[in-house]
């Protein structure tokens, strides 16, 4: 099997989407959740004309000359809705955020005034720009946040401002994560000859959380069909999708590929990309399954390039406001970056902004088993098949977030 392009892998997997569900949560629990529906403002913001400064609410026509002397008629404070009325020759003391009194159309800041008994002497300009107009930020009924938006602290604050105490958000799909291999043991245990610490499930779980889903780490399955079958069956009954790590290549003990061929349904196997060439996608007991490579760099790259777009498409994430793992950018290569025959090449690169121009360089060994290469670099090249990058050449890249 030759393999599919990255675009085809995304398209094929999106034919078997996650099931999208929603729930209502309070604003206290909304951080990092994803909006399920568009929301519209229930109020104007500001709700009323108010002052952006401490000072005096005046009529602009009364303050054309420095030294104008106006009668003080009262004070407007925040929460004071029994507003005063300013007539010609009058001024009303006003606090930041307090409603503008009727008749006033400008503010003189307190620093530009002197009180003289029942009068205030104006020693600076009256400014209309210090008046915040009703609805100038958001008007009632205005679409304020889009479905598929990642809820940040500022967006939660906005939701409260426009009248919401709770929001409808996308339920977090449960994604099972299974690591496969006889050589794997849990971190912290004593290593014996030929053993390594299992790391992929932890990195994948972090990525799953980052994109708005709930990881369910099911631990290590050693190289036997019965144990793998048992874990897959448990995952299919209790989770919405399955990620496996390892066991998808062409070896005798690559059991994920074998069990999917014999008992599951494979939609594609192999993608024309490096690293990350041998993944598969299919269904186990009607549940979507991605079989990711065992090499840690490969599993991270395949997740970024294929699994995340599948989740985003399934759940309707907004392209600009939803979760993102990377931003596509153009960079100038500072070194020779070797491509891959017949495959998109995703070398780990370090992207730096140098006087407004993005440059990229390679800092360390590029092996797909070297997870440290994902730590010391912050991007991935997007070299087309059969294409190298020369020093000084502009290329496309992903700037990892």
What are 298-341's pLDDT values in tens digits? 999 999 999 999 999 999 999 999 999 999 999 999 999 999 99
The Cα–Cα gap between 148 and 319 comes to 8
Query: Rounded to whole angstroms, how far apart are CA atoms 374 and 171?
Result: 30
Determine how β-strand 184-185 pairs with β-strand 394-400.
unpaired
Work out whether strand 287-292 and strand 241-245 pair parallel, antiparallel, or are unpaired: parallel
Q: How far apart are CA 59 and CA 68, in angstroms?
A: 12
Answer for the pair 300, 372: CB distance below 8 angstroms, yes or no: no
Examine the domain organization and report whether 220 and 264 are in the same domain: yes
For residue 320, is it within any domain?
A: no
Q: Give the residue-averaged pLDDT of 259-272.
A: 96
pLDDT given at position 366: 86
Mean pLDDT of 157-170: 99
Question: Is 26 inside any structural domain?
Answer: no
Q: Which of 189, 258, 192, 270 is nearest to 225 (CA)?
A: 258
Question: Which tokens in the block code for residue 39?
Answer: 């929301």
Which two structure tokens, joined as six digits, stand for 378? 């912050």
- Domain of 108, in residue numbers: 50-132
Among 82, 109, 132, the domain-final residue is: 132
Tens digit of pLDDT for each residue in 116-136?
999 999 999 999 999 999 999
- Percentage, residues of the chain above pLDDT 70: 98
Mean pLDDT of 63-85: 89
The reply to whether 31 falls in a domain is: no
The tens digit of pLDDT for each residue in 172-224 reads 999 999 999 899 999 999 999 999 999 999 999 999 999 999 999 999 998 88
CATH code, domain with 144: 3.90.105.10
**Residue 20 near residue 315, CB atoms below 8 Å:** yes
Query: Final residue of a domain: which of 106, 132, 158?
Result: 132
CATH number of domain containing 342: 2.40.340.10
Q: How confident is the model at residue 12 (pLDDT cuts 50, 70, 90)?
A: very high
Distance CA 398, CA 401 (A): 9
Dump the DSSP string for 352-375: EEETTEEEEE--S---TT-THHHH
- Residue 136 is classified by DSSP as S
Intra-chain end-to-end CA distance of the chain, in Å: 33
Regarding whether 256 and 382 lie in a shared domain, the answer is no
Instruction: Let me know whether 40 and 166 are in one domain.
Output: yes
Q: Render pLDDT for 355-396 as a digit per residue (tens, 0 to 9).
A: 999 999 998 888 888 999 999 999 999 999 999 999 999 999
For CA atoms 172, 175, 176, 178, the dihedral sign is: negative
**Nearest residue to 380 via CA among 398, 368, 363:** 398
User: Does some domain include residue 25?
Assistant: no
Query: pTM of the prediction?
Result: 0.91
The answer to the question of residue 68 being in a domain is yes
**Residue 103: exposed, middle, or buried by beta-carbon count in 10 A (0-12, 13-18, 19+)?**
middle
| CB half-sphere exposure, 247, CA atoms < 13 A | 29
Same domain? For 292 and 310 the reply is yes
């Amino acid at each position: 099997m030759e393999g599919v392009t990255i675009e085809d892998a995304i398209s094929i997997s999106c034919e078997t989407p996650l099931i999208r569900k929603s729930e209502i949560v309070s604003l206290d629990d909304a951080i990092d959740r994803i909006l399920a529906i568009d929301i519209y403002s229930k109020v104007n913001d500001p709700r009323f004309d108010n002052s952006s400064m401490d000072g005096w609410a005046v009529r602009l026509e009364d303050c054309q000359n420095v030294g104008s002397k106006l009668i003080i008629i009262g004070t407007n404070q925040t929460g004071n809705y029994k507003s005063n009325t300013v007539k010609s020759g009058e001024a009303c003391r006003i606090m930041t955020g307090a409603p503008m009194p009727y008749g006033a159309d400008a503010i003189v800041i307190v620093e530009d005034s002197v009180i003289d008994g029942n009068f205030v002497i104006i020693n600076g300009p009256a400014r209309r720009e210090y008046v915040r107009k009703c609805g100038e930020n958001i008007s009632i009924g205005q679409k304020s946040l889009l479905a598929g938006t990642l809820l940040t602290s500022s967006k939660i604050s906005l939701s409260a401002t426009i009248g919401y105490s709770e929001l409808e958000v996308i339920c977090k799909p449960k994604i099972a994560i299974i690591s496969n291999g006889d050589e794997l043991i849990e971190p912290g245990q004593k290593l014996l000859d030929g053993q390594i610490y299992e790391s992929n499930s932890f990195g994948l779980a972090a990525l799953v959380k980052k994109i708005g889903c709930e990881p369910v780490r099911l631990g290590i399955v050693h190289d036997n069909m019965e144990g793998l079958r048992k874990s897959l069956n448990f995952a299919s009954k209790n989770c919405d999708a399955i990620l496996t790590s390892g066991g998808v290549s062409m070896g005798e003990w690559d059991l994920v590929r074998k069990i999917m061929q014999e008992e599951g349904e494979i939609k594609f196997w192999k993608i024309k990309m490096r690293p990350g060439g041998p993944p598969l996608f299919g269904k186990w007991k009607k549940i979507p399954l991605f079989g990711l490579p065992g090499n840690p760099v490969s599993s991270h790259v395949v997740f970024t390039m294929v699994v995340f777009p599948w989740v985003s498409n399934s759940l309707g994430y907004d392209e600009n406001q939803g979760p993102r793992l990377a931003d596509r950018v153009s960079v100038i290569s500072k070194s020779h970056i070797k491509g891959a025959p017949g495959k998109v090449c995703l070398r780990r690169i370090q992207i730096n902004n140098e006087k407004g121009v993005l440059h990229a360089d390679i800092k360390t060994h590029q092996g797909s088993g070297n997870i440290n290469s994902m730590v010391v670099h912050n991007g991935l090249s997007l070299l087309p098949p059969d294409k190298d990058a020369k020093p000084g050449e502009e290329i496309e890249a992903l700037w990892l977030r």
